[in-house]
Amino acid sequence: MDFSSVLSGFAVAFEWQNILFCLLGVTVGMLIGVLPGLGPAATIAILLPITYNLEPTAAVIMLAGIFYGAQYGGTITSVLLKLPGEASTVVTALDGHALARRGEAGPALGIAAIASFIGGTASIILLSFIAPALAGVALAFGSAEYTILALIGIFLVGTLGNGSIIKSAAAAAAGLLLATVGLDPLMGTPRFTFGTDQLADGIDFTIVAMGLFGVGEILYNLEHRNRPQTAVPSFGRAIPGRLHWLKSRLAILRGSVTGFILGILPGGGATMSSLVAYAVEKRSAKDPSRFGKGAIEGVAGPESANNAAATSSFIPLLTLGIPANATMAVLFGALMLQGITPGPGLMSDHPDVFWGVVNSMYLGNLLLLVLSIPLIGLFVRMLKVRPGVLAPITVVITMIGTYSIRNNAFDMLLVIGLGLLGYGMRKLGFEPGPFVLAFVLGSLLEASFRRSMRIFGGDVTEFVQRPVSGTLVAILVLTVVVVPLLRKVRTRQTANAEQSGVTAE
């Protein structure tokens, strides 16, 4: 690890405008985490056009802040109202809300904030050591390796996502197909443009993300918009006692490790790791029957895990150029918009961006810890804003943002069309995540596949015979074995959560 660039990264992170954007990002993140309906992927997608004019580091610092800030925010409504703002905090609601009913909401929120802080921070430290090594290995990757890597990414996002595997495969295939619209990457032949110049450059990633995540989610929520207003229990001060801390410190440690490891896996991410961490806590407890009735470890473990995972899911994006989840796919788009290609070269070509963003996360986590304790009351009050008022305002911002990308009304129609597609997919049981991810990786996958085939003289078995790509193929095969295990844990935990009446937004 090159310490001078790490240090200059701190200098970048602590420039006053970057501190400001970090604060802005984590606050927005916490806010949308509290508000059910709009997730971090949608929010970042909607804000993409606004980041056009920002400096790259500031833009990514802010967008990253939204992502990990949302993990903190989602916890608040999970504990107080049993309404998880984010899928990654569903499992927190089990014991968190039980604690709240017992009048221990304050300590539960306090432990959640501290666990999130420790999980996030530990994960940044690990990332700082592992990312350079991984990027170093990845520098030697050629077309064959990238073909397999992109396949692993799409496969894991498809299989570890929430929907059925086969539907995720179909969604991913549709995303790959949409990515072929435009000029052929190697030969320049127009494909699926239906004769319009509007499609000749292909469809901008921002359009796809804003359509599927932004407009799609708004339309979907329009159908189910009436939620009963729940009374917020009083929670006093969000400061845990000594006993709570003693009980949860090992859970925090275990959760951080679980979260870090699962976060690196594409598709694993925050949701999966919080569920696995909960299972780990329950398994390792002396008296598992306490779980679901207000065990503080059931809050500490998952909360440290989802934040650790949120941080470590940056690793595949920043070192390999493979986004690990839907939000990372949107961040991938954000970097591309700024003219920065995420991948093994990022760290050496743009050390200021890489280390600036990574080191800003220390600050962001600290800000979240400091903010979340005094401001919980304020954020809870935000729940009173009616979704019916928020939706049209969000739509208008999305539309104006879309227009501003190319000053083109055709793009707005595309976003609306893709929004309807997103709505239809949700209704028919398809996850938009694999679609968007496959769309992002589509051109990389196709170009590397075709280059490899040329190099290999049309022999597909070469993928297995070359040592590096062969190893990656072995990893791909290994994931086929690991995935069902992880899915099993998740199914069981989600079933538990659903039994107690908690469902994800």
Cα–Cα nearest to 218, from 416, 379, 413, 68:
416
> Residue 480 interacts with other proteins (CB under 8 A)?
no
Spatial CB neighbours of 505, under 8 Å, sequence gap ≥ 6: 36, 37, 39, 83, 84, 85, 86, 87
Distance CA 317, CA 311 (A): 11
Cα–Cα nearest to 355, from 44, 71, 4:
4
> Which residues inside 314-373 make contact with other proteins, applying CB under 8 A?
none
213, 436 in Cβ contact below 8 A?
yes
> Residue 450 interacts with other proteins (CB under 8 A)?
yes
Distance CA 301, CA 258 (A): 9
Binding residue for other proteins (CB under 8 A) from 6, 15, 24, 184?
A: 184
Cα–Cα nearest to 436, from 154, 151, 68:
154
13, 61 in Cβ contact below 8 A?
yes
- What's the token pair of residue 370? 């400091």
Closer residue to other proteins in complex, CB, 288/417: 417
Binding residue for other proteins (CB under 8 A) from 117, 146, 332, 449?
A: 449
Binding residue for other proteins (CB under 8 A) from 244, 426, 466, 490?
A: 426
> Residue 192 interacts with other proteins (CB under 8 A)?
yes
323, 309 in Cβ contact below 8 A?
no
259, 306 in Cβ contact below 8 A?
yes
Entry field: residues in the chain: 505
> Residue 475 interacts with other proteins (CB under 8 A)?
no
> Which residues inside 135-154 make contact with other proteins, applying CB under 8 A?
none
Backbone angles phi, psi at 259, to 5 degrees: -65, -45
Binding residue for other proteins (CB under 8 A) from 4, 196, 407, 461?
A: 407
Binding residue for other proteins (CB under 8 A) from 7, 20, 246, 409?
A: 409
Binding residue for other proteins (CB under 8 A) from 103, 374, 377, 388?
A: 388
Cα–Cα nearest to 323, from 138, 154, 111, 192:
154
Closer residue to other proteins in complex, CB, 93/126: 93
440, 329 in Cβ contact below 8 A?
yes
Chain mean position to CA 165: 19
Distance CA 176, CA 377 (A): 44
Smallest distance, Å, CB 497 to other proteins? Answer: 14
47, 41 in Cβ contact below 8 A?
no
Smallest distance, Å, CB 231 to other proteins? Answer: 17
Site string for other proteins, 226-265 (x = CB under 8 A): xxx-------------------------------------
39, 90 in Cβ contact below 8 A?
no
Backbone angles phi, psi at 113, to 5 degrees: -65, -45
> Residue 396 interacts with other proteins (CB under 8 A)?
yes
35, 29 in Cβ contact below 8 A?
no
> Residue 289 interacts with other proteins (CB under 8 A)?
no
Closer residue to other proteins in complex, CB, 20/393: 393
> Which residues inside 48-67 make contact with other proteins, applying CB under 8 A?
50, 53
Rounded to 5 degrees, what angle do the CA atoms 262, 266, 271 make?
A: 55
User: Three-class SS of residue 414?
Assistant: helix
Q: How many residues bind other proteins (CB under 8 A)?
A: 65
Smallest distance, Å, CB 243 to other proteins? Answer: 37
> Residue 275 interacts with other proteins (CB under 8 A)?
no
> Residue 170 interacts with other proteins (CB under 8 A)?
yes
Smallest distance, Å, CB 144 to other proteins? Answer: 14
Cα–Cα nearest to 270, from 323, 313, 301:
313
> Residue 187 interacts with other proteins (CB under 8 A)?
yes
> Residue 8 interacts with other proteins (CB under 8 A)?
no
Smallest distance, Å, CB 192 to other proteins? Answer: 6
> Which residues inside 194-233 make contact with other proteins, applying CB under 8 A?
215, 219-220, 222-228
> Residue 164 interacts with other proteins (CB under 8 A)?
yes
Smallest distance, Å, CB 181 to other proteins? Answer: 10
> Which residues are at the interface with other proteins (CB under 8 A)?
50, 53, 163-164, 166-167, 169-170, 173-174, 176-177, 180, 184, 186-187, 189, 191-192, 215, 219-220, 222-228, 386, 388-389, 391-393, 395-397, 399-400, 403-404, 407, 409, 412-413, 416, 419-420, 423, 426-430, 446, 449-450, 453-454, 457-460, 503
